[in-house]
A = this chain, B = another copy of it.
Amino acid sequence: MGGGRRTVTDPQTVTIVAHATPAGRAALALVRLSGPDSAAIAARIFARARGAPLVDGRPMLGTLLDRGGAPIDQAVLTLHRAPHTVTGEDVAEITLHGSPVIVRETLAACVLAGARPAAPGEFTLRALRAGKIDLAQAEAVRDLVEAATVEQARIAARQLGGEVSAAIAPLAEGIFELLADVEAGLDFSDGEEALALAGAEVAGRAERLAAQIDALAGASEPARRVREGARVVLLGPTNSGKSSIFNKLIGYGRVIVTPEPGTTRDLIEEQLVLEGLPIVLVDAAGVGEPGGQAEAEGMRRALAAAESAHLVLEVYDLSRPERPVGPPGAHRLRVGTHADLPPAGPPAQGTVAVSPLTGEGMTALRAVIAEQLHAPGARPLESVALATERHLAAALEARDALVAAAGQARAGEGAELLAIDLRRAVHALREILGEVGPEALLERIFARFCIGK
């Protein structure tokens, strides 16, 4: 801490400026200032029409001045006074014409008048530090902007609306109350490690809280999948036609397809969206008798990828006698290729028959994949509280700590040990909202923001 990141040490004293809208030519652009000198800097670069004074909270028409004081645009300035602003600081918003040269000149004029160019995410970081939003909401701002699908944007919008805090804060409070009760035992036994509550009661409360976290994680699973995407792996014998299905699914020829077996050795990944669900489609090496060390490594990777996939497409050739082994499972889907050729026998149970060559069955395959992955379609998502990997990991750490505390309570351990686990659980949940946590966490999160946010 301390000095490594300027934004951490000077939020209240330095005024920052940034272009808030994308680079390029358009009707309008937005430049924002935040900090104590926002109004003074704005007054230096903006002359109100007919010399009227600047007033707060209302858009004002006027002339934007360049570094030399010459008019460079007609613009609208809106001043917002602390503390009821997006950053909690004085904020000036300038709406100007969407010209790259005018934006550049305006930023330069602001810097000459005393502003500092904002670091990535610095506006949002200031909002966080001012208590305007919590960390989950700050992350939602980033997710909103980066959303690739409208479903992802909807999840981020709900997180920005405070749903994460609404779900997490009561859980943290519940654990904190249990911790207080346990520590009360500590207090009045004066370090003697006697429990004020019966061990079974502590264990029961901790287990109920752990179960609530599990339930929340489960309710957030569809949203998490929409946000993080699902991994779908194509698995099958060499030359069964996996790459052709892959290409047909992604809609263009990303992978080299040849009639020679063993062409695909590395994992090839492409992204696509099926009914609102982003999918990472993985084409892996064929599985069978390896022709050499490289092929053996390819097969090892293919099997490992299938192991961690949300869905495995077990591809086999309908025109050849081999059939997939093992029963169809919840995360397995049998796909028979070469449906345009004479079949070598009846298809295996539950097979989706396709021909990438003629297109036969491909629409059905997309639909079955979407169904198997619970693509959101129009269904509302139950919870978005643990939709991000960071939130889920923190919640599961809290859950594990609660389970550990329950185990210790049932084993008759004293308050001291229980309190350590319960504190760990509270801490983990509060990290989600950014109430605790090292600067390093913030730095890691805000480094992914773009300038102007």
Return chain B residues, CB-CB under 8 Å to A29: 21-22
Q: A72 near B22 (CB under 8 angstroms)?
A: no
Contact partner of A154 (CB less than 8 A), chosen from B66, B80, B104, B380, is B66
> Per a CB cutoff under 8 Å, which of B19, B22, B26, B59 touches A25?
B22
A18 at the interface (CB under 8 A from B): yes
Q: Which B residues lie within 8 Å of A149 (CB)? A: 101
A71 touches B158 (CB 8 A): yes
Q: List the B residue with the shortest CB-CB distance to A141.
A: B97
Judging by beta carbons under 8 Å apart, are B450 and A26 in contact?
A: yes
Indicate how many identical chains form the complex. 2
**Shortest beta-carbon distance, A166 to chain B, in Å?**
14
In the bound complex, do residue A145 and residue B26 qualify as a contact, i.e. CB atoms below 8 Å apart?
yes
Residues from chain B with Cβ under 8 Å of A72 in the complex = 150, 153-154, 157
Tell me the residues in window 10-52 of chain A with beta carbons closer than 8 Å to chain B beta carbons.
18-30, 32
Find residues 58-111 in chain A having any chain B CB closer than 8 Å to their own CB: 58-59, 63-64, 66, 68, 70-74, 78, 80, 95, 97-99, 101-102, 104-105
Tell me, rounded to whole Å, the shortest Cβ–Cβ distance linking A386 to chain B: 19
Does A389 have its Cβ within 8 Å of any Cβ on chain B? no
Question: What separation, in Å, do the CA atoms of A23 and B27 have in the docked complex?
Answer: 11
Q: A68: nearest residue on chain B (CB-CB)?
A: B378
Q: Which residues of B contact A95 (CB under 8 A)?
A: 30
Instruction: Name the residue of chain B whose CB is nearest to the CB of A97.
Output: B144
Mask: chain A, 128-147; 1 = CB below 8 Å from B; 0 = not = 00000000000001001111
A146 x B25 contact (CB < 8 A): yes
**A453 interface residue, CB < 8 Å from B?**
yes
A452 interfacial contact with B, CB 8 Å: yes
Are B18 and A150 interface neighbours, CB within 8 A? no
| Contacting residues, chain B, for A146 (C-beta < 8 A) | 25, 99
Secondary structure at the A interface, as helix, strand, loop or mixed, is mixed
Query: In the assembly, what is the distance between CA of A150 and CA of B27, in Å?
Result: 17
- Considering the chains assembled together, what is the distance between the CA atoms of A376 and B344 in angstroms? 81
Proximity string of chain A (428-453) to chain B, C-beta cutoff 8 Å, 1 when within and 0 when not: 00000000000000000000001011
Q: What chain B residues lie within 8 Å of A453 (beta carbons)? A: 26-27
Chain A contact-residue range equals 35 or more
Judge whether A145 and B27 touch: CB under 8 Å: yes
Q: How far in angstroms is the closest Cβ of chain B from A320?
A: 43
Assembly CA distance A73 to B152 (angstroms): 11
A22 and B98 contacting across the interface, CB-CB below 8 Å: yes
- Asked if A148 is an interface residue, CB under 8 A from chain B, the answer is yes
Q: Is the CB of B123 within 8 A of A27?
A: yes
Asked whether, in the complex, the Cβ of A18 is within 8 Å of the Cβ of B27, the reply is yes
Expressed in whole angstroms, the Cα–Cα distance for A311 and B437 within the complex equals 66
Q: Are A21 and B98 interface neighbours, CB within 8 A?
A: yes
Alpha-carbon gap, A145 to B78, bound state (A): 21
Report the bound CA distance from A145 to B153 in whole Å. Answer: 30
A162 to chain B, nearest CB (A): 10
Evaluate whether A144 and B102 lie within 8 angstroms (CB atoms) in the complex, with A30-B95, A154-B66 already known.
Answer: yes
Known: A21-B22, A70-B154, A102-B150. 17 other contacts (CB 8 A): A20-B26, A22-B25, A22-B26, A22-B98, A24-B24, A25-B145, A25-B450, A26-B450, A27-B123, A30-B30, A59-B78, A64-B157, A72-B154, A97-B141, A99-B153, A102-B144, A104-B150
Going nearest first, the 9 A-B pairs with the smallest beta carbon separation are A22-B24, A27-B453, A21-B21, A27-B452, A22-B26, A20-B28, A20-B27, A22-B22, A97-B144
User: What are 21 of the A-B contact pairs (CB < 8 Å)?
Assistant: A18-B27, A20-B98, A21-B22, A21-B28, A22-B29, A22-B98, A23-B26, A26-B450, A26-B452, A27-B32, A28-B452, A57-B58, A71-B158, A97-B141, A97-B145, A99-B144, A99-B145, A101-B148, A101-B152, A102-B147, A102-B157
